[in-house]
Amino acid sequence: MIIVTFAMAEESKEFLPLLENRRDRTVDGRTDLPIVEGTYGGVAVTVVHLGVGEASAEKRLRESGALGGPYKPTLLICPGYGGGLSPQLAHGDVLLVENYSDPRVLERAQMHTGRTGVHRGNLTSQMVVIESAADKAALCASTGAVAVDMETAAVAKLCTEAGVPMLAFRVISDDANTTLPVPGYLLWDLETQRPPMAKLLWYLVTHPGRIGALRSMLTSLAPVRARLTDVLRRTIPPLAEITGS
């Protein structure tokens, strides 16, 4: 069995329809962040939605029971959107994460990911959204990482504890030169694990010049999501072969 984690349903909504024999469940009533079991190409897959941030990721992955159930997974794949820190990573590029992935799994994944817009490098997981191009440059310089997310470190910790190999990859949703159109805390509330819609709407009422940029950012996620799904489609079957899934 392979576990595939996503932070949000926004990231998984093109992959989930590919699963056969699908069964959805929840551990806390959050139907927007379900645990989904099924098969892909004959491979048993369990999808766990983590929420955003390390605390939510650790909590939800533990509570899912996917890592500690009666059928130990042979692999965990941790895909998702990521912010570019290095100018070498363009919007929609794929980063195969070296510092959190099993080396053997990473090598096999690279063979099947494609040649265009695919990079290898280190990822840093942060507690807050990195909003500005200046902050991205500073984080790149201080960590040596080429991209940033908010969950992978927590997932890797649990995989190490459980003795489950992991592949992490990120598709760049905002490159190093991009400053987010609205403050990060308005995109997702880490406490409620939902978008703070009232606060976001008020911000846009008082900053109407940001509406167009926000709309463009949201529209730009479609090709990022498609690339993420394509990488999963390409890599799950060969990775299942080498891990015995």
Six-digit token pair at 183? 């403050």
- In the chain, DSSP finds a helix count (H) and a strand count (E) of 8, 11
pLDDT in tens, 154-190: 999 999 999 999 999 999 999 999 999 999 999 999 9
**Which residues, in sequence order, are bridge partners of residue 210?**
none
**Which residues, in sequence order, are bridge partners of residue 123?**
147
pLDDT in tens, 48-65: 999 999 999 999 999 999
**pTM, rounded to two decimals:** 0.95
Question: Minimal CA–CA distance to 52: which of 127, 136, 157?
Answer: 127
* pLDDT > 90 in the chain, percent: 93
Q: What residues have CB less than 8 Å from 196, skipping those under 6 apart?
A: 185, 186, 188, 189
Residue 114's pLDDT is what?
84
Q: What share of the chain is helix, strand, coil (3-state, %, to 5)?
A: 40, 25, 35
User: How far is the C-alpha of 110 from the C-alpha of 113, rounded, in Å?
Assistant: 5
Q: Which residues of the chain fall short of a pLDDT of 70?
A: 245
Q: What residues have CB less than 8 Å from 209, skipping those under 6 apart?
A: none
Cα dist. 241→1, 57, 91, 95 in Å? 11, 27, 31, 22
Average pLDDT along the chain: 95
Residue 69's pLDDT is what?
73
Six-digit token pair at 239? 């990775």
Cα dist. 224→24, 207, 227 in Å? 25, 27, 5
Cα 80 to its chain centre, rounded Å, is: 2
Alpha helices in the chain (DSSP H): 9-12, 54-64, 103-113, 133-143, 152-162, 197-206, 211-219, 221-243
Six-digit token pair at 25? 């469940």
Six-digit token pair at 229? 């799904």
Residue 245's pLDDT is what?
67
User: How far is the C-alpha of 30 from the C-alpha of 212, rounded, in Å?
Assistant: 31
Say which residue the tokens 């042979």 belong to. Answer: 74
Residue 35's pLDDT is what?
96
Say which residue the tokens 């990195």 belong to. Answer: 130
User: How far is the C-alpha of 230 from the C-alpha of 224, rounded, in Å?
Assistant: 10
